[in-house]
Amino acid sequence: MTKIGIILGSTRPGRNGEAVAKWVYDIASRRSDAEFELVDLLDYNLPHLDEAVPPSMGQYANEHTKRWAAKIAELDGFVFVTPEYNHSTSGALKNAIDFVYGEWNNKAAGFVSYGSVGGTRAVEHLRLIMGELQVADVRAQVALSLFTDFENFSSFKPGPQHEGTLGVVLDQTVTWSKALETVRKG
């Protein structure tokens, strides 16, 4: 069964991303075309990148890196849930991405973002990063506004249209993850 990780890309206290990621997981877990797992960066406690050898070499020295690499390796695709901080993704997510390399290769990624302009600028940066990691990013994206999808900027109340868009993100991510299976095994 194709395994898709829903990666919660914020570790900030009081983060909005937890409610968003749980919403994504709730909807995804009703599907039968893939197995979905919520992957919370807080559970991995990654320090600022502390590996001496570049990740592309695959020679991880630290146990936290090996644990993170094993999790990413077992997944066939990803849905990144990202905030937008200063026109980009969170430092915690970028740091986690940078820890490993080969484990990302030849997989697919979709995006669910949130921020004052829907987190779209964060996703634009993530799309560039995914290209370098040989991850096929899908076209559809859920962009949640802090003004209209959150009450008082903190209580998540997504508009009903977002569930349909999320369905498209999941469809595309699962389809591409399955298509790239032959490349991963080749």
Share of the chain above pLDDT 90, in %: 99
Closest CA to 10 of 94, 62, 83, 85: 83
The superfamily CATH assigns to domain 3-185 is Flavodoxin domain (3.40.50.360)
Domain ranges (residues) in the chain: 3-185
HSE of 72 in the Cβ direction (CA atoms, 13 Å)? 27
Residue 139: per-residue pLDDT: 98
Which residues in 23-162 belong to E strands, given as ranges?
35-40, 77-83, 107-115, 135-145, 150-151, 155-156
Does this model's pTM top 0.95? My answer is: yes
What is residue 186's predicted lDDT score, i.e. its pLDDT? 80
- Alpha helices for 62-119 (secondary structure H): 63-73, 91-99
CA separation for the pair 120, 140 (Å, rounded) = 12
The mean pLDDT value for 15-30 works out to: 98
Q: Rounded to 5 degrees, what angle do the CA atoms 167, 131, 78 make? A: 35
Place of tokens 């909005």: 16
pLDDT in tens, 110-166: 999 999 999 999 999 999 999 999 999 999 999 999 999 999 999 999 999 999 999
Containing 90, the helix (H) or strand (E) segment is: none
Which residue from 171, 162, 143 is spatially nearest to 31, judged by alpha carbons? 171
Query: What pLDDT is stored for residue 13 in this prediction?
Result: 96
pLDDT of residue 72: 98
